[in-house]
Amino acid sequence: MSLALFKYALREALRSLKRSGWGGLASIGTIAASFLIMGVFLLISSNLSTVVSQWKEGVQMTVFLKDGLSSTQIASLKKGISSEKAIKSSSYINKEQALADFKRDLRGQEGLLEGLGYNPLPASFQVRVNEAYQSPQMLQQLAQTLKKLDGVEDVLYGQEWVEQLSLIIRLLRLAGIGLGALLLLASILIVSNTIRLTIYSRAEEIEVMRLVGASWYYIRIPFLFQGILEGLIGATLSLLILFLSFWIILWRIDLSSAASLGLIRLQFLKAPYQLLTLVAGGLIGGGGGLLSIRRFFAT
């Protein structure tokens, strides 16, 4: 495509877009809404994934031991635990240290334990798990393996929390893709109808161009550009709305509370996702333009 043809197509596309009025605004609005919905779901799921990744950096299992184990049995348990491929490291916490840690966690309410007269907390191993084995299924399998070791009373690792959050992330992504795909299909149809109406309104002008020898390519390409422009404007608008909403929400959040929830590293969509949104917007708009061109000029 020559530079002169490009300038002509762009100029005519802008003129057609201006003349399309509410139809053009509807096309742009539908595309923006589609990408905005997908962006919201993607933004939430990506940040939840970041939170999970941060949590996984320190994911631990607590292996509670039965009372009365000898030092030899404890050493044998440590060797058995460390032999598992999934185990990154393990540290032994005796009953006295467990009680001291528990009192520290009570933060000034240590007096609640004074009436017990004995230490009810078991000894345990704090086990860190390699990242490659931190899926819910592998954690559950590892917990079952550790429970079978002689001297182990129970194994805790927050299985329900891991499984539920992983499920939520998957559902959010599927919901975003599903709703977005439906709206994007509607966007293609709306863009197609808008451009088709524009073509009909310029039917006499097109006929004159054909009579003076203009090629079909020269006549059609401005309408294709119109669709691409509508898609790009809609996609850009969705990113701007999402960006402003994201930072307004961050501004309203109490950062100290966010930090305690592990959400301090909230991030906007990464550059590749933003670029992909713009490219997809142009392709969807161009697809709608191409559909209208094929329908009109086929008749």
State the pLDDT at residue 147: 87
Give dist(CA 243, CA 276) in Å, integer. Answer: 16
pLDDT one-digit tens code per residue, 260-298: 444 455 778 888 888 988 888 888 888 877 777 776 665
Mean pLDDT confidence for 226-253 = 85
Above 60 in pLDDT, residue 241? yes
Round the average pLDDT of the chain to a whole number and report it: 76
With 0-12 / 13-18 / 19 or more C-beta atoms within 10 angstroms meaning exposed / middle / buried, residue 19 is middle
Residue written as token pair 């109808």: 193
Q: Whole-structure pTM over 0.75, yes or no?
A: no
State the pLDDT at residue 130: 79
Specify the range with the lowest mean pLDDT, choosing from 87-96, 145-154, 172-181.
172-181
Q: pLDDT band at residue 7, thresholds of 50, 70 and 90?
A: confident
State the pLDDT at residue 256: 44
Give dist(CA 140, CA 163) in Å, integer. Answer: 10
pLDDT one-digit tens code per residue, 119-167: 778 888 888 887 777 777 788 888 888 888 888 888 887 656 666 767 7
Above 70 in pLDDT, residue 253? no
Mean pLDDT confidence for 250-263 = 55
Q: pLDDT band at residue 237, thresholds of 50, 70 and 90?
A: very high
> How many CB atoms neighbour CB 205 within 10 A?
11
Contact 119, 99 (CB under 8 A): yes
Give dist(CA 176, CA 109) in Å, integer. Answer: 46
> How many CB atoms neighbour CB 283 within 10 A?
17
Domains and CATH numbers, the chain: 3-54+163-298 (no CATH), 60-156 (3.30.70.3040)
Q: Specify the amino acid at residue 244.
A: L
Select the more confidently predicted residue: 101 or 61: 61
Mean pLDDT confidence for 15-43 = 78
Annotate 49-101 with three-state secondary structure.
HHHHHHHHHCCEEEEEECCCCCHHHHHHHHHHHHCCCCEEEEEEECHHHHHHH
pLDDT one-digit tens code per residue, 98-113: 777 777 766 655 555 5
State the pLDDT at residue 240: 93
State the pLDDT at residue 260: 46
Contact 238, 36 (CB under 8 A): yes
Q: Which of 126, 159, 164, 160 has its CA nearest to residue 144?
A: 159
Best-predicted range by mean pLDDT (69-83, 96-110, 210-224): 69-83
Give dist(CA 84, CA 299) in Å, integer. Answer: 71
% of the chain at pLDDT higher than 90: 2
- Output the six-digit token pair for 7: 């300038």
b/e 64-98 (16+ beta carbons within 10 angstroms → b): bbeeebeeeebeebeebbeebebbeebebbebeeb
